[in-house]
Structure 1
Amino acid sequence: MPTPASAASDAPAAPTPRVPRTYRYYDFVMVAFVTVLLCSNLIGAAKAAEVTLPVIGTVTFGAGVLFFPISYVFGDILTEVYGYGRDRRVVWAGFGALAFATFMAFVVVNLPVASFMSSYQKSLEEVFGNTWRIAAGSLIAFWCGSFSNSFVMAKMKIWTAGKWLWTRTIGSTMVGELVDSSLFYIIAFYGIWPTQQIIAVAIAQYVLKTGWEVVMTPVTYRVVAFLKKAENEDYYDHHTRFTPFRVRVD
């Protein structure tokens, strides 16, 4: 009969708890992503700009378009280096920040204004007083477009065995921005603008956004190379659960 000591020694060892991997720059990339997202939606969305392009002619676009695509560049970098799961956490952080900013803008605009600032109220409403459809369109389009971008990016990395980064950054952005632009303009303006105008503006925005991704490709390459070396990480999502409805990293 085994003694208590020998029985204890024969028992299987308790599994060693897995220590979560830490990274030097992940938090900084997250902050940069959220900052670009908020600024492009709160600052850039208030102004419509016009440029005249060869062949196309005069194009009207929201000024935020110049900066919003940078969030997709960060999304590509996060998925390429850290994987879909960690990019998913960043998307949810951005969604929460954008939802709070939308709520705060609504409260601030609708608070009773002091008499000595009554002339300022109109300007505040023009900049931050978005309708509920525009606010809902921004949130839904961002959420769906960002996850579409990250999913395509992660899958293409596996399909290409990590080669041809430019095909993944551009290809994923084409899908993500298509989802984003389509949803936003349908939710925000369908039935308000003529359908033909909605399609024309959505196409112009889509071309400008994806064009930014092409222009930013050399920068993306340099940042990805730096982070992979600095973090000693090049994540492949072979066993990832691609549901967007979780924040825990697989």
Structure 2
Amino acid sequence: MSSPRHAQHSSWFLLIVALFVTCLLVSNVTAVKLVMVSGLVLPAAVVIFPISYIIGDVLTEVYGFARARQVIWLGFLCNLLAVAAFAVGGALPPAPFWEGQEAYQQILGSAPRILAASFMAYLAGELVNAYVLARLKVMTGGRMLWLRTIGSTLVGQLIDSAIFIGIAFAGVMPVEALVAAAVTQWLVKSAFEAVATPVTYAVVAFLKRMEGLDVYDGDTRFSPLPLG
């Protein structure tokens, strides 16, 4: 079911979009730190980036694939703007008394290869995640939300991890290490989604009630580009 309110930007929708973009931008900055968790080496962004997938699930489940696709591309553009601002800030000559230029470059100055890998992995993973969830919703008649959220995350995160690790570190790490790193990130992020399933259920139910929406993408054109 959908309603005329679907065409409007409600306060709840804007809040969800803001949270999604914030999670994306923060995760890209915190990803530069590597942490050791239970013997596994992971980027610190692992604590927040999976939240963007949960929000993406909520967007698709409540507002439909087309709205989720718009938000995914908005996040991409915001991330591109942030990276450009960091690059310009790093290129500006530092004040003579400021000693943080090296630290700034190390944290905020990413190599072009890493940026390309991050952008491609994000777009592919998020769009596939939204597509799979929307398709499963139609196939299941809106039942078994847990199957849709976990199933779409397993597929989306697999693609995200494989693309990022493959592009960013191919030729730098042995093939076995590349596969191990991609699988580890995939499993950790997917487990995060599974553990957060009760929260996803609660947020989805709340938004459907507040918005009066429950969009099914039976006739949606599943183009990756938000055109037409």
Q: How high is the TM-score relative to the length of structure 2?
A: 0.95
* Secondary structure in 2 matching 1:46: coil
Alignment-derived partner of residue 96 in structure 2: 115
Residue in 2 aligned with 1:219?
A: 199
Counterpart CA distance in 2 for 1:40 and 1:19 is 32
Report the alpha carbon displacement of residue 111 of structure 1 after superposing the two structures with TM. Answer: 2.0
2:213 corresponds, among 203, 217, 233, to 233
Cross-structure match for 1:83: 64
Which position in structure 2 is the counterpart of 1:34?
Answer: 21
- For residues 37 and 80 of structure 2, the distance between their equivalents in structure 1, rounded to whole angstroms, comes to 31
2:187 to 207, 210, 217: 207
Mapped contact 2:32–2:43 kept (Cα < 8 A): yes
Instruction: Output the amino acid matched with 1:108.
Output: G
Structure 1: distance between partners of 2:72 and 2:7: 19
CA distance in 2, matches of 1:127, 1:215: 30
Aligned residue for 1:101, secondary structure, equals helix
Higher relative contact order (CA 8 A, sep 6+): 2
Query: Which deviates further from its counterpart, 200-209 or 159-168?
Result: 200-209
Query: Conserved in 1, the CA contact under 8 Å of 2:5 and 2:211?
Result: no
* Distance apart, 1:194 and its partner CA: 2.0
Structure 2 unaligned spans of 5+: none
CA contact (8 A) 2:6 2:63 kept: no
Q: Does 1:21 align with 2:1?
A: no
Residues in 2 aligned to 1:51 and 1:28: alpha-carbon distance in whole angstroms: 31
* Aligned partner of residue 196 in structure 2, secondary structure: helix
CA distance in 1, matches of 2:150, 2:125: 14
- The amino acid of 2:136's aligned partner reads M
In structure 2, give the amino acid aligned to 1:100.
L
Q: Secondary structure at the match of 1:240?
A: coil
Shift, 1:246, TM fit = 1.6
* CA shift in 2, pair 1:19/1:73, >3 Å: closer
C-alpha distance in structure 1 between counterparts of 2:90 and 2:37, whole Å: 31
* CA pair 157-136 structure 1, distance change in 2 beyond 3 A: same
Distance 2:202 2:5 in 1: 30
Matches of 1:102 and 1:135, distance apart in 2:
9
What is the match of residue 4 of structure 1? none
Give the CA deviation at 1:20: 6.6
Q: Note the C-alpha offset of 1:247.
A: 5.0
Partner SS state of residue 36, structure 2 = strand
Q: Structure 1 stretches of 5 or more lacking a match?
A: 1-17, 53-57
For the 8 Å contact 1:69–1:213, the answer to whether it is kept is yes
Alignment of 1:57-72 (within 5 A): 58-72=39-53
How many Å apart are 1:41 and its aligned residue?
A: 0.9
Cα displacement (A) at 1:19:
8.7
The amino acid across from 2:20 in the alignment is F
Partner of 2:74: 93
Q: In percent, how many aligned pairs have the same letter?
A: 42
Kept in 2, the 8 Å contact 1:85–1:247? The answer is: no
Q: Deviations over 1:17-40 (max 9, x none)?
A: x89732341111111100111011
SS, match of residue 40 in structure 2: strand
- Aligned-partner residue type, residue 241 of structure 1: R
Contact 2:6-2:213 within 8 A present in 1 as well: no
Query: What SS does structure 2 have at the residue aligned with 1:156?
Result: helix
TM-score (normalised: structure 1): 0.86
